[in-house]
C-alpha cells in the first residue's frame, strides 16, 4: 500500500461536518464553576486596591480570586516560555489594557460576568508607551523593573537581572565586513517598513478547564502545546510533572494563539483554591487582549553593485512585544536571523530588538515573525530592481542563495529548491507575457516575492505506535490537529510503514498521561519532527512484527514485507497482523508497543555574531505572485490572481498541502489589505469581529492557486518538510509590488487599506488628501 503522496481524505472530516468531534469549548464538568476575568482598563498603572465585596454579595458567586489568593498557592506566580515575566493575575501593577486582574467564579457564566463587572479596582496611573521605537529609548517608561529570562533557553541567561530597559532581547548576526560592503557598493538603498498588530481570530476562543483529582490535577485545554503546559504548571505549583495531566481535543483554529500558557495556570489555581472544577472560556473580544502578532519596524539598508548584485545588507528590526514576552524573544532571534532574506549577500549585519510596550502581549502567529521581514526585504527588492532597471524576477535570480552557499548565519544551505520555486512562479504568473496595465481609473499591476524561514530548533518529538490483539493500530502522538490535517498525515506515515489503511488507524488525542512528549504544534515543525518520530515508532512495531513472523514462518526477517495488513515472505507465506498477535500472545490479547523519537542536530549560534554551522533542521521557502486591479479614485485593491508556490520537500498529502498553502495565503491577504488592530491609549478600538474584519469568501482572489516543488529533503520523513506557514511569507510584498508595478507608488506600512493607498497615490500626484 502506498499512502505517502496520496490525497487521503481527512480522518476527522466526516465527524467534523456532522458535528460529532470533541472540542474543549463544549466540555462541561459536573459541579463546575464558571470564571470570568475582570480586566484592566488602563495600559500602565499601579494597583492601589481591589474591592470585590459587591461581586461577592451577588447570589451565585462562589469566590473572587486575586493575586493574593494565587500567592498562597504559588509563591512565584510568574510564567512564560522565554521569560518568567507574566503573573497569573496582575501583581501590584497592570501593564496593558485587558490584563487579567481578578476572576469571579460563579455557578453560572452570566452571573460570573456580572460579578466581574462589579469588582472595583483603584489604580494609580503610570506613563505608558506603545510604539516599539519609543519604548526602546532609554528615557521611556520602564514596563518591567528587571528582566527575568526562563531557564529553558540557555542563550537568554545573560539577560537575567538586567534592569532599566524595555529591550528584552537584542540578537545580532554579523557576516563579512558591513562597512567594507557599503564602501564597495555602487548604490545604497535605505527604507523603513512597518507592520501593524493583527490577531489570530480563532473561531474557537481560548478555553481551559481544570479539576483536582486526588493529589493531581487534570487540565482540559484548547492548547497547541500540552507538554509545555504540563511542565510550566508543574513548575509553578512545585509539583512533579506526573501529577499534572493536560489533555486537549480538536482545536477550532490555533495559528499560534493557543501556545504556552494562556488560561491554564489560572484555571488550575482557581480549581485548587476552590476545590471545584473551573472553566474559563474567553469571548471573541477578550482574545484581542490575550495575544497578538508582533507589529514591527524594519529599517533595511542595502548596497548593490552596478551589475545588480546585493553585496551588503544591514537590517535593524524593532519587534513590538507588548507587555509580556510570551515567545517574542524567540521570534526576535529565530526569525530575526533571516532578515537578509533568501539572498547570497557577502556582508550582513542584522540587529533585532524584542521590545516591551504597553500593548497586549505579542507571540507566535503563523510565520513566527517571518512575514514582517519579508514585507521589508521583498518590497525593497522591487524598488532596487526598478531603480537599477532590472526585471524583478531577474534581480532575484541574480542574488538568490543557492545550494552549498552559506546563509548569513554561516549555515550552508542544503535541500532548498530556490531556482525551482522561481521557475514555477514564472510559469504560473506567465511572467514573460506582455502585461496590460490599463490607462483609466482602474490600473493593473503584477508582482512577486519570495521568503525564507529557518524551522525553529532544537525541538523534540516522541511518538508511540500500538498494535492491539486484533491487529488494529493506534498512534499516540502529541501533535495537536487544529485544522492542518496532521492526524491524517501522521496516520499516512504509519500506514506506509505497516501497510495498514490510513483510515483504520486510530490517532489518540494529545493527553500528557497517555501521549509522549512533543515540544508543541508550532512553526511548521510537526510533519518533519513528529513525522520522523512516528515513522521510527511504526518501524519499531514492524521490527517486532517481523521477528514474530520470522519465527512463526521459519524464515529470515529480511525475506519479509508488510502489505495490506499482512506480512508476506518472499516464498509467499502470509500472516495477518491479527495472526501475528495470536502467535505472540496465544489469544486475542496483548499489545505491541513501538516508540520513536526525533530531535534534529543543531549548533547554537555564537551570541556575538549569530554564526552557527547548523542553525536549522530545514529551510522553508515560499513565493507568491499577485496580479491586482487598483481603483485610483478610491485606493481599493482587488487581487485578481494569487499564486503561492512552496518548496515542500515531499507532499505527504497533496490536497492538504494545497489547502495549507492556499489557506495561509488567504489569511495573509487579510493581513495585507485590511486587518489591523486599532488602538487608542492601549484600548483596542475594534476588538470584535464586527469591526475587526477577516477575509470572507468574497475576499478570496478570483484566481487563487497553489503550486509546490518536490525534491525530497534528506532528513525529512519520506523527504517532507513543514508547510503550514509557507503560504504567509510572500503575499503581502507580492501584492504591494503589484501596486508599485501598476502606479509606482510606495506604501511603507501594512495593511494596504484603501485610504492608505489613496493617500500614497495622491501624494505621488502632488495633490495630497487633507488631514481632516
- Contact residues for other proteins, defined by CB under 8 A: 110, 113-114, 117, 283, 285, 633-634, 636, 670, 674, 678, 685-686, 688, 690-691, 693-696, 698-699, 753-755, 758-759, 769-772
CA distance linking residue 191 with residue 733, whole number of Å = 14
Which residue, 133 or 694, is less far from other proteins as judged by CB?
Answer: 694
Catalytic residue among 725, 755, 765, 772: 725
Which residue, 145 or 765, is less far from other proteins as judged by CB?
Answer: 765
Closest distance between other proteins and the C-beta of residue 760, in Å? 12
Which residue, 195 or 333, is less far from other proteins as judged by CB?
Answer: 195
Which residue, 394 or 441, is less far from other proteins as judged by CB?
Answer: 441
Closest distance between other proteins and the C-beta of residue 114, in Å? 6
Q: Are 645 and 734 in contact (CB under 8 A)?
A: no
Closest distance between other proteins and the C-beta of residue 629, in Å? 14
Which residue, 240 or 769, is less far from other proteins as judged by CB?
Answer: 769
Q: Which three cell numbers stand for residue 161?
A: 537581572
Closest distance between other proteins and the C-beta of residue 2, in Å? 42
Q: Are 359 and 679 in contact (CB under 8 A)?
A: yes
CA distance linking residue 179 with residue 312, whole number of Å = 8
Closest distance between other proteins and the C-beta of residue 763, in Å? 13
Three-point CA angle 50, 56, 61, nearest 5°:
130
Question: Residue for cell digits 524594519?
Answer: 298
CB atoms within 10 A of CB 355: 31
Which residue, 213 or 688, is less far from other proteins as judged by CB?
Answer: 688
Which residue, 139 or 772, is less far from other proteins as judged by CB?
Answer: 772
Which residue, 109 or 458, is less far from other proteins as judged by CB?
Answer: 109
CA distance linking residue 61 with residue 44, whole number of Å = 29
Three-point CA angle 30, 34, 37, nearest 5°:
160
Closest distance between other proteins and the C-beta of residue 772, in Å? 4
Count of H-run helices and E-run strands, the chain: 19, 31
Closest distance between other proteins and the C-beta of residue 692, in Å? 9
Which residue, 108 or 614, is less far from other proteins as judged by CB?
Answer: 108
Closest distance between other proteins and the C-beta of residue 288, in Å? 12
Q: Are 478 and 226 in contact (CB under 8 A)?
A: yes
Q: Are 419 and 342 in contact (CB under 8 A)?
A: no
Which residue, 115 or 548, is less far from other proteins as judged by CB?
Answer: 115
725 noted as active-site residue = yes
Which residue, 139 or 771, is less far from other proteins as judged by CB?
Answer: 771
Three-point CA angle 577, 579, 582, nearest 5°:
115
Phi, psi (rounded to 5 degrees) for 64: -125, 120
| DSSP state letters, 584-648 | HHSSS--EEEEEEEE-----PPPTTT---S---S-EEEEEEEEEEEEETTT--EEEEEEEEEEE-
Q: 3-state secondary structure string, 715-765?
A: CCHHHCCCCCCHHHCCHHHHHHHHHHHHHCCCCCEECCCHHHHHHHHHHHC
3-state secondary structure at position 107: coil
Which residue, 247 or 636, is less far from other proteins as judged by CB?
Answer: 636
Contacts of 193 (CB under 8 A, 6+ apart): 297, 298, 300, 375, 376, 379, 380, 748, 749
Closest distance between other proteins and the C-beta of residue 759, in Å? 8
CA distance linking residue 628 with residue 768, whole number of Å = 23
- What would you report as the CA-atom Rg of the chain, rounded to the nearest whole angstrom? 27
CA distance linking residue 543 with residue 47, whole number of Å = 62
Closest distance between other proteins and the C-beta of residue 745, in Å? 16
Q: Are strands 86-87 and 78-79 parallel, antiparallel or unpaired?
A: antiparallel
Closest distance between other proteins and the C-beta of residue 113, in Å? 6
With 0-12 / 13-18 / 19 or more C-beta atoms within 10 angstroms meaning exposed / middle / buried, residue 432 is: exposed
For 697-708, give one letter per residue: b (16+ CB within 10 A) or e: eeeebeebbbbb
Closest distance between other proteins and the C-beta of residue 290, in Å? 17
Which residue, 181 or 695, is less far from other proteins as judged by CB?
Answer: 695
Closest CA to 219 of 228, 207, 209, 229: 209
DSSP code, position 361 = P
- Torsion sign (Cα): 6, 594, 522, 344: negative
Q: Are strands 683-684 and 619-631 parallel, antiparallel or unpaired?
A: unpaired
Q: Are strands 207-213 and 216-221 parallel, antiparallel or unpaired?
A: antiparallel
Contacts of 118 (CB under 8 A, 6+ apart): 52, 54, 55, 58, 104
Closest distance between other proteins and the C-beta of residue 371, in Å? 19
3-state secondary structure at position 18: coil
Distant-in-sequence contacts of 633-636, Cβ < 8 A, 24+ apart: 633/441, 633/758, 634/754, 634/758, 635/753, 635/754, 635/755, 635/756, 635/757, 635/758, 635/759, 635/760, 635/761, 636/754, 636/757
Q: Which residues are catalytic?
A: 725
Amino acid at each position: 500500500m502506498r499512502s505517502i503522496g496520496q490525497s487521503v481524505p481527512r480522518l476527522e472530516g466526516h465527524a467534523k461536518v456532522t458535528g460529532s468531534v470533541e472540542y474543549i469549548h463544549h466540555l462541561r464538568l459536573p459541579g463546575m464553576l464558571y470564571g470570568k476575568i475582570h480586566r484592566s482598563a488602563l495600559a500602565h498603572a499601579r494597583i492601589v486596591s481591589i474591592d470585590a465585596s459587591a461581586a461577592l454579595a451577588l447570589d451565585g458567586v462562589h469566590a473572587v480570586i486575586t493575586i493574593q489568593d494565587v500567592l498562597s498557592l504559588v509563591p512565584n506566580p510568574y510564567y512564560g516560555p522565554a521569560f518568567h515575566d507574566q503573573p497569573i493575575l496582575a501583581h501590584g501593577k497592570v501593564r496593558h489594557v485587558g490584563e487579567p486582574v481578578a476572576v469571579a467564579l460563579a455557578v453560572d457564566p452570566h452571573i460570573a460576568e456580572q460579578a466581574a463587572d462589579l469588582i472595583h479596582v483603584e489604580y494609580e496611573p503610570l506613563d505608558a508607551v506603545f510604539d516599539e521605537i519609543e519604548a526602546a529609548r532609554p528615557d521611556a517608561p520602564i514596563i518591567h523593573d528587571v528582566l527575568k529570562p526562563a531557564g529553558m533557553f540557555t542563550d537568554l541567561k545573560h539577560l537575567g537581572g538586567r534592569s532599566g530597559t524595555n529591550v528584552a532581547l537584542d540578537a545580532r548576526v554579523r557576516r563579512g565586513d558591513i562597512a567594507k560592503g557599503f564602501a564597495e557598493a555602487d548604490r545604497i538603498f535605505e527604507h523603513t517598513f512597518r507592520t501593524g498588530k493583527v490577531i489570530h481570530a480563532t473561531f474557537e476562543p481560548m478555553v481551559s478547564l481544570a479539576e483536582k483529582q486526588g493529589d493531581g490535577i487534570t487540565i482540559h485545554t484548547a492548547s497547541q502545546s500540552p507538554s509545555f503546559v504540563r511542565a510550566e504548571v508543574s513548575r509553578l505549583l512545585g509539583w512533579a510533572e506526573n501529577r499534572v495531566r493536560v489533555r486537549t481535543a480538536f482545536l477550532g483554529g490555533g495559528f499560534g494563539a493557543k501556545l504556552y500558557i494562556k488560561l491554564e495556570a489560572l484555571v488550575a489555581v482557581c480549581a485548587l483554591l476552590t476545590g471545584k472544577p473551573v472553566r474559563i472560556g474567553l469571548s471573541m473580544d477578550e482574545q484581542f487582549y490575550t495575544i497578538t502578532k508582533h507589529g514591527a519596524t524594519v529599517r533595511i539598508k542595502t548596497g548593490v553593485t552596478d551589475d545588480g548584485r546585493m553585496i551588503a545588507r544591514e537590517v535593524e528590526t524593532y519587534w513590538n512585544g507588548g507587555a509580556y514576552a510570551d515567545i517574542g524573544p524567540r521570534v526576535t532571534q529565530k526569525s530575526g536571523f533571516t532578515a537578509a532574506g533568501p539572498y547570497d549577500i557577502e556582508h550582513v549585519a542584522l540587529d533585532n530588538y524584542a521590545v516591551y510596550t504597553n500593548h497586549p502581549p505579542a507571540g507566535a502567529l503563523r510565520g513566527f515573525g517571518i512575514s514582517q521581514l519579508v514585507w521589508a526585504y521583498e518590497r525593497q527588492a522591487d524598488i532596487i530592481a526598478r531603480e537599477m532597471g532590472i526585471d524583478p524576477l531577474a534581480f532575484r535570480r541574480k542574488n538568490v542563495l543557492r545550494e552549498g552557499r552559506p546563509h548569513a548565519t554561516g549555515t550552508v544551505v542544503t535541500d532548498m529548491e530556490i531556482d525551482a520555486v522561481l521557475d514555477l512562479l514564472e510559469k504560473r504568473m506567465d511572467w514573460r507575457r506582455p502585461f496590460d496595465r490599463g490607462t483609466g481609473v482602474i490600473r493593473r499591476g503584477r508582482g512577486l516575492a519570495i521568503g525564507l524561514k529557518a524551522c525553529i530548533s532544537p525541538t523534540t518529538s516522541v511518538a508511540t505506535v500500538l498494535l492491539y490483539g486484533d491487529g488494529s493500530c493506534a498512534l499516540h502522538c502529541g501533535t495537536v490537529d487544529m485544522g492542518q490535517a496532521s492526524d491524517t498525515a501522521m496516520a499516512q506515515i504509519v500506514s506506509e510503514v505497516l501497510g495498514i489503511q490510513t483510515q483504520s488507524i486510530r490517532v489518540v488525542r494529545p493527553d500528557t498521561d497517555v501521549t509522549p512528549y512533543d515540544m508543541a504544534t508550532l512553526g511548521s515543525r510537526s510533519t518533519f519532527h513528529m513525522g520522523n518520530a512516528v515513522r521510527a515508532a511504526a518501524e519499531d512495531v514492524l521490527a517486532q512484527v517481523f521477528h514474530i513472523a520470522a519465527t512463526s514462518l521459519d524464515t529470515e526477517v529480511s525475506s519479509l514485507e508488510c502489505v495490506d495488513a499482512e506480512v508476506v515472505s518472499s516464498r509467499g507465506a502470509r500472516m495477518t497482523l491479527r495472526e501475528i498477535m495470536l502467535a505472540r500472545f496465544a489469544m486475542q490479547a496483548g499489545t505491541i508497543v513501538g516508540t520513536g523519537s526525533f530531535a534534529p542536530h543543531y549548533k547554537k549560534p555564537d551570541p556575538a555574531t549569530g554564526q552557527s554551522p547548523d542553525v536549522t533542521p530545514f529551510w522553508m521557502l515560499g513565493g507568491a505572485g499577485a496580479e491586482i486591479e487598483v481603483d485610483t479614485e478610491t485606493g481599493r485593491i482587488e487581487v485578481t490572481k494569487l499564486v503561492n508556490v512552496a518548496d515542500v520537500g515531499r507532499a505527504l498529502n497533496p490536497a492538504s498541502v494545497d489547502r495549507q498553502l492556499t489557506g495561509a495565503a488567504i489569511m495573509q491577504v487579510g493581513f495585507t489589505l485590511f486587518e489591523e488592530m486599532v488602538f487608542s491609549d492601549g484600548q483596542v478600538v475594534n476588538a470584535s469581529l464586527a469591526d475587526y474584519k477577516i477575509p470572507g469568501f468574497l475576499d478570496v482572489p478570483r484566481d487563487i492557486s497553489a503550486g509546490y516543488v518536490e525534491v525530497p529533503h534528506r532528513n525529512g520523513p519520506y523527504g517532507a518538510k513543514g508547510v503550514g506557514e509557507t503560504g504567509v511569507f510572500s503575499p503581502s510584498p507580492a501584492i504591494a509590488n503589484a501596486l508599485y508595478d501598476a502606479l509606482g507608488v510606495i506604501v511603507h506600512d501594512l495593511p494596504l487599506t484603501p485610504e492608505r493607498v489613496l493617500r500614497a497615490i495622491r501624494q505621488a500626484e502632488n495633490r495630497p488628501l487633507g488631514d481632516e
